[in-house]
Every structure is written in structure tokens, then in C-alpha cells.
Amino acid sequence: FFFYFFRIPTPSLLSGVLWMIRSLVVLLLCAASSALSVGCRASVAACRSPAPAMMGNMAPDGPFTPVVLAGKVVLGEKLLNKVRGKLITYHAQAITEFCETYGVAREMRGALVKKAKIVGGDLGFLS
């Protein structure tokens, strides 16, 4: 057991260590940002922004904005946008499957996808 920690690192071990360090940095940034964030306590309606969510830097800040900004630093903007696009695609597919399963009209499906974009922007996922 002792010799396991003091062996010569291999390339796969180094990449695993770098991945672990990156993950730890993101986790620490998330913990620090949630500890420092000040939420709106008066009412839920006061916390919501009246403007619709926009893409890119025009989106309003939300509770997950620090996580997204940390992701830009750790992953890089190009990879973050790629991952974010994949997640948006999976979420839209889940909404579509839900609508097909329960016979929801096509117009309502479009409204649900638009609402998901607005809520995601309000939460800071589009920052």
C-alpha cells in the first residue's frame, strides 16, 4: 500500500491526477460561490427576471452562474459550449419523449422547450 503512492507516475496516472485536480478546483469554486451568493428572500416572484433568457453573455445572472464561469475557466469556452449544447439537446429530447408519451400537443411541446430556455437562463446556465 505504501509503495502505491510513491511509484513513478505513468501518463495515464498523470491524466487522472490532472482530471482529479480540475474536478477539485470546480468543486471548491462551486462551494465558495454558493457560500458567498446572496439570494432573494422576499418572494419567488421578485427573484425572477422579467426579461426572457438570451444566449451568451447577455443572459441574466443566476445561482448557477459561478459554476458556468468556473466551467469556462477549467474546460475552456469551446468545450463548455459543446457540453452545454449536448445537455440542451438531451433535455429537449426528454421533453419530446414526455410529450409523446402523454399525448401533449406539438404547440405545447414548443412552449415547454421555450420555457426551459427561459428558466435555464434565469438560473444562470446560459451565462
Residue type, 5: F
pLDDT of res. 2 = 43
Do residues 71 and 23 make contact, with C-beta atoms less than 8 angstroms apart?
no
d(CA 115, CA 98): 15
DSSP track, 73-103: HHH-HHHHHHHHHHHHHHHHHHHHHHHHHHT
Judge whether residue 80 has pLDDT over 60: yes
With cut-offs at 50, 70 and 90, classify the pLDDT of residue 77: very high
List pLDDT tens digits, range 31-73.
Answer: 555 555 554 444 444 455 455 555 545 778 899 999 999 999 9
Do residues 56 and 77 make contact, with C-beta atoms less than 8 angstroms apart?
no
